[in-house]
Structure 1
């Protein structure tokens, strides 16, 4: 199939989708029409702009100016993919509004908007849009729902965002697809083995195999096997950090605990920065289904749950920066504030810090493990990885809840899931409902007292087989396998705290609630040994390591933040003191 044929097919699909959605109740929610009274209530948040026929209101790949409410005329929404193709998306007229989730946080527009005839609009910039969503509760609910549904439609249709060109089973394609998917960013993939024009583009632009995959941005720029940071900057997902801005609180980590802190802190008027090295949601965001979280009796995927919190935090004005790695924390001295050193060397300043960095996936002792990471060895199970192992046998290592959720999810795609558990049972580490489901799933095989000790593959680095060993008899055997999923726990991500005096326990988790020489007031339950530095969620020593517990701690820490910030206004800055970490 040529690029033009593929584009025609996508256009037909978009038209069919639009036709179906017009008869579906959600079409009215995605493209609601506002009444004159509702528009009048919105006028105080924006200003009237006029456009002539053919004028551009917003442009793909450039920062959107905000949300447009059409007062008169019509605007055509189209999508272009960087390969020279333009596709119609929708046309909107009086009483409707233009925008999607990116308009909440000054992100690049994902589509183009052009005036058809003379157009008059009310333009509401991002900061005023957030104020509108909060001040006008009923109207804000309708607008927020529409913004979310529009982003969902763009993702499902592959509209907006970059074009990935490479083999679907390539480790780097999976890496980039996973990054974009987990951050809720639309994209689509073309395989040069099946598309002649894509193959020609590869021949022109990627002379070396290491150049693949190619990423084509909407403006036609070509990135060769980019890092997550490179693609994020090219797509406007990552804004520059202002060295002059002082936040009330910087939250390191955007899992359930970090997002909960962000929502409650931002909704109570604090200026909030959230930083994460990969994607919002943390390990919970990779869970196929969470069934024991309050209020979701039928279960909800980790991505869906944490995406709601991510959108909610942006609604209240939290600035979320992904992907950004924090290298060091410098404790407050002269001015009593803190400074985070980011991966590009830039500083980010805050009055208080919340450590919500969670844990990194543990790498078990396994021969050739690093060689096959991202090429048959996976630390999470999403639809992307499930597609790669369709109708195949897979190995899943682990006996906790995350492993159980992944095993059940993969059993719907793989022909068989060999669940390898070091211990002799699941009762001590897994919820009962998951054990019962696993035991009733015919294509899940439980291998107790067993471990994977080695993996091997072909010269092209694709995984071919795994060696298993019985922990009782010591006997080994090889199993032909192309995908191994590892859910063997995680180690706390606390290396960036070294040198600041934050005490850690022997396992490296952050100690909270303990008094140190630096404290000049009573210590709160979630405060570390450094005043003004708090810890929540899985990274905290003694936490329950559950989504519900993490969210509860995120809400609880905001009260402690208010107390600390109020005290710091009147107290003289304490001098920095060195304090060894407890390991």
Structure 2
């Protein structure tokens, strides 16, 4: 028997920027009526249900409705309540994720239902509503994450596959609740109820959907319906393939598709790349108050979808080849994509510290991103951050909101050696942040979880221990170029050489000069952190991604292939 929302447990309800869901005014409702259809509803009507692959944005014209977790099942809980002129929806609507909560009318009324396809049109054509919806969706998403609502992961902190799934969930900014097998009595009860043996762990329970037993990254995203959509273009050679969906890759795909190029964007982990995990980017033009990496990724993804980019997620590039004037990239899911031009934006991953027991604590005490997920895991701290770049600075400021003490451990004697001045100034004024210069982490200490780190300062023989709830590592970077097998010219650290930096003996250009951002093979370009000499800034990567599209078209012109591109050719930037 279905549970009445009014009888569900009283849980804290969602708040918005003004204390509750934004109330739409008459003008906004008038605009929305042009995109949706109205209907009457009765108390108890399900407006959308957990597990639905697609569902409408619901605007309450009259009456009330609740968002319910576990609707129709024991322990159902009301998450949020809404009234007239308020709307029901979350960021998963735009990313294509299945619903993980249900919406139920609690009184008779009338609703305006806006299909997802129409919502995308609103996001592209109605700036005021677009900004209102996106910011509200992101805020709701953040609050839901803090409530551990959504997917349920059951697994052991000591299991490598559990840590792998935790990273996939975090990097894709999904909402989940983790039940650690070693600490949660509830985990054992659920496993007994599902008749799942320990050997099948970890598992992920999808609300309204299946129980996934140790799924691969692709299988997980497929089950959530967010691994990508079928190509908007017929099979064959696409105009542009972008490998990597960080800021540079997203910018390149948007620029290419907006100019009529049949564009495919492939990403192995999550849209937004490492920048998508940044808590606040404050030096990006046009956003004086800054914006989160999640918001940047969401906006970039919406733009790519608007222009018809084919997005391919959980797809790791495995090889590159070239034949008869066409480039081909093979992926670990078995697909091989042929393209006239390729832009490589695979970025770089933070290096690992050479410490014993590091793998044991990764994902459960040692982290390579500082998002709300990691902050929740660390509680009130204290925490330590290793690294002196901007990512480390942004992480320190973000974690200082919830952690009593944040220690920034750097090998240099001052932060301004590698960190932007605006971050240095804010850190120096923050009483919760303590900088430990000329210091190295030499050991990790703990039994079942990370409890402390051992530090040694240069010039001193004795070491000291620092009690921490988490260690965040932002040091150096290893480029994502292993799949290229040395086919393209690299510097001594493995980053791709472009333009005039390429040695003459590595050029495949037949005597022609490579273009700026072009690699040693004609028609293949590198942008962002994967490129040798990049400045490792979001704005620079976005600029390079846009410029690379123009250069790719120039290369096609010189090869006599530009007339085969779609209806619009890239024009000088305006």
Match of 1:409 among 398, 406, 428: 398
Whether the 8 Å CA contact 1:327–1:343 is kept in 2: the answer is: yes
Q: Which runs of 5+ in 2 are unaligned?
A: 565-574
Match of 1:292 among 261, 273, 283: 283
Cα-Cα RMSD: 4.6
1:490 Cα offset (Å): 0.9
Matched, 1:549 2:540: yes
State the SS of the aligned residue for 1:427. helix
Q: Deviations for 1:396-421, whole angstroms, at most 9, x for unmatched residues?
A: 21122221222222233333223222
Whether the 8 Å CA contact 2:327–2:340 is kept in 1: the answer is: yes
Match of 2:365 among 370, 373, 376: 376
**Distance verdict in 2 for CA 1:464–1:67, change over 3 Å:** closer
Match of 2:490 among 493, 504, 516: 504
Matched, 1:340 2:340: no
Q: TM-score, normalised by structure 1?
A: 0.77
State the SS of the aligned residue for 2:444. strand
State the SS of the aligned residue for 2:273. coil
Matched, 1:465 2:452: yes
Whether the 8 Å CA contact 1:463–1:481 is kept in 2: the answer is: yes
Matched ranges for 1:54-203 at <5 A? 60-61=50-51, 63-64=53-54, 81=70, 84=73, 108=98, 126=117, 137-138=125-126, 142=129, 145-146=132-133, 149-150=136-137, 152-153=139-140, 156-157=143-144, 161-165=150-154, 176=165, 179-188=168-177, 199-203=188-192
Cα distance in 2 for partners of 1:417, 1:98 equals 37
Whether the 8 Å CA contact 2:57–2:119 is kept in 1: the answer is: no
State the SS of the aligned residue for 1:314. helix
Whether the 8 Å CA contact 2:243–2:266 is kept in 1: the answer is: yes
Matched, 1:353 2:334: no
Whether the 8 Å CA contact 1:241–1:346 is kept in 2: the answer is: no
Count of aligned pairs: 549
Q: Which runs of 5+ in 1 are unaligned?
A: 574-583
**Distance verdict in 2 for CA 1:510–1:51, change over 3 Å:** farther
State the SS of the aligned residue for 2:383. strand
Report the more deviating stretch, 476-485 or 100-109: 100-109
State the SS of the aligned residue for 2:522. coil
Q: Deviations for 1:373-430, whole angstroms, at most 9, x for unmatched residues?
A: 1121111222222223233332221122221222222233333223222122222211
**Distance verdict in 2 for CA 1:192–1:432, change over 3 Å:** same
Matched ranges for 1:170-249 at <5 A? 176=165, 179-188=168-177, 199-205=188-194, 211=200, 214-239=203-228, 244-249=235-240
1:322 Cα offset (Å): 2.6
Whether the 8 Å CA contact 1:82–1:221 is kept in 2: the answer is: no
1:510 Cα offset (Å): 0.8
State the SS of the aligned residue for 2:443. strand
Match of 1:562 among 550, 553, 556: 553
**Distance verdict in 2 for CA 1:55–1:373, change over 3 Å:** closer
1:131 Cα offset (Å): 6.4
Q: TM-score, normalised by structure 2?
A: 0.78
